[in-house]
Amino acid sequence: MIRIGLLTSGGDCQALNAAMRGVAKTLFNGKEDVELYGFLDGYKGLIYGNYKMLSFSDFSGILTKGGTILGSSRCPFKNMREPDENGLDKVEAMKHNYYKLNLNCLVILGGNGTHKTANLLREEGLNVVTLPKTIDNDLWGTDMTFGFQSAVDIATQCIDQIHTTAASHGRVFIVEVMGHKVGFLTLNAGMAGGADIILIPEIPYDIDKVVDAIKKRNERGSRFTILAVAEGAISKEAAKLSKKEYKKYVAESKYPSVSYEIADEIFKRTGMEVRVTVPGHTQRGGSPDAYDRVFASRLGAEAGRLILEGKYGYMVGYVNREIVRVPLEEVAGKLKMVDPDASIVKEAKMLGISFGD
């Protein structure tokens, strides 16, 4: 008999269910005696002992279902060592519930913060296997995370649909794409959607150069310009501020987001009408695309194989088109960012896309 715990933590995304299905099917097909426990709402379920036993039928029909059948929540890593409002030691509570259920392993699906806590639990002696989930694709140790490609598809579709109205009215349109710290989603969706200007956190922009790119399009006879802007895009001036100064700058800003600030600056300098579209959480919602269904299933299957082999302390990743096992301590606390000198950025510039730098 093997007993496995499952939880999904952090922001939800497409293919979480597909990945869990991959784990479960591999375990059920590889061993007759399997008990699966799903912790509800992420680490909260593990902390407070909220869980349910899962059967084979619970994983039927969820390959195409978005979100997570277990629910999720954000439990910041920085607060994990702090007692809750009732004085409960969260780490000890998680360990207690793990041992109470006599688990052989805990399978954790999540992003950066989730992996920090997963590694903490590994350091505390628990058997842990993780799967890389995030629409930002910013997890260290893997070329791809599930949820990313589905989010790219949705953001791209938004830019596609903006094209017709932008061309009809001769306006500047800004599509604000998710991504506070990294720009993989904006970069890929911007290229796929034919954006003229792409602004990402890793390449601070000069608003004058953004405006110049718009003016050059006008001079060539283009009636409209589309900008794909990451929600974490930052100007060269703001990038020079300290972390504390930047937080104050954002808090005191009159704009709801950087896209509206950019829109205002473009209008002041050109007089052109500017519209902002924010697809927001639609980017992490709905059914996973075909790529993510296959990808998440493969990752889940490998996680199941790790458990059957009794090998723990790994994140299942994807490097050079192959599924790999990455030691968890090499992943936790590291952020994968867009390299400003990456070939994809250079190729985008060759296509005439401006990054405002």
Q: Which residues are catalytic?
A: 136
Instruction: Check: CB of residue 259 under 8 Å from CB of residue 174.
Output: yes
Q: Cα(135)–Cα(79) distance, rounded to whole angstroms?
A: 24
Residues 199, 183: Cα–Cα separation, whole Å: 8
- Cα–Cα distance, 66 to 265 (Å, whole number): 38
Contact 307, 2 (CB under 8 A): yes
Please report, for residues 83, 94, 216, 226, the alpha-carbon distance to residue 167 in angstroms, rounded to integers and kept in the order given.
55, 55, 16, 10
Cα–Cα distance for residue pair 140/71, rounded to 1 Å: 25
Cβ partners under 8 Å of residue 183, min gap 6: 198, 200, 201, 202, 203, 230, 232, 233, 337, 338
Cross-sheet strand order for the sheet of 197-199 = 197-199, 225-230, 172-177, 274-277
d(CA 150, CA 281) in angstroms, rounded, equals 12
Angle of helix 16-30 versus helix 290-309 axis, rounded to 10: 40
The CA-CA-CA angle for residues 303, 304, 310, to 5°, reads 90
Tokens of 300: 């889940």
Q: Which residues of 326-338 are buried (b: 16+ CB within 10 A; e: fewer)?
A: bebeebbeeebbb
Distance CA 135, CA 145 (A): 7
Measured N-to-C along each axis, helices 290-309 and 148-169 cross at an angle, to the nearest 10 degrees, of: 160
